[in-house]
């Protein structure tokens, strides 16, 4: 039952963002930029484990994983402005993000960051 509650609330959040963005792109972007999924994830993790060490590790790793995802939000609109169709721009942005994630996973332990 708890799984379905989590899925419902998470799905409603995504539906809200897409509905807002269709009518008010700026407001939709604002809501999408909020770390709602991260907050939901923290709430669900806490309710299921009540483990401070696990929460600390999760939140810290989330911060480091957010960083390689940020360039995608600049890359996609930039390449679309240069005539690249949406789906190709999205795939390119996701591909670059995957490469950046891989770079972060490789680099993090070398500079003392635990993921």
pLDDT for position 24: 93
Helix (H) or strand (E) holding 28: helix 25-33
pLDDT band at 92 (very low <50, low <70, confident <90, very high): very high
**What's the whole-number average pLDDT of the chain?**
93
Model confidence at 10: pLDDT above 90? no
The model's pLDDT over 38-59, given as tens digits with 9 standing for 90+, comes to 898 899 899 999 999 999 999 9
Percentage of the residues of the chain whose pLDDT score is greater than 90: 70
Q: Residues 36, 13: contact at Cβ < 8 Å? A: yes
pTM: 0.77
Model confidence at 91: pLDDT above 90? yes
| Integer CA distances (angstroms), 73 to 67, 77, 115, in order | 11, 7, 23
Using N-to-C axis directions, what is the helix angle for 2-23 and 25-33, rounded to 10°? 150
Chain centre to alpha carbon of residue 78: 20
């Amino acid at each position: 039952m708890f799984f379905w509650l989590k899925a419902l609330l998470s799905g409603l959040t995504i539906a809200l963002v897409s509905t807002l963005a269709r009518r008010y792109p700026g407001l939709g972007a604002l809501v999408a930029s909020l770390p709602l999924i991260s907050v939901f994830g923290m709430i669900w993790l806490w309710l299921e484990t009540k483990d401070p060490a696990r929460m600390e590790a999760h939140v810290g790793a989330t911060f480091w994983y957010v960083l390689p995802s940020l360039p995608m939000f600049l890359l996609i609109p930039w390449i679309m402005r240069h005539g690249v169709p949406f789906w190709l721009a999205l795939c390119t942005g996701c591909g670059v993000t995957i490469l950046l994630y891989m770079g972060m996973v490789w680099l993090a332990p070398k500079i003392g960051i635990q993921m």
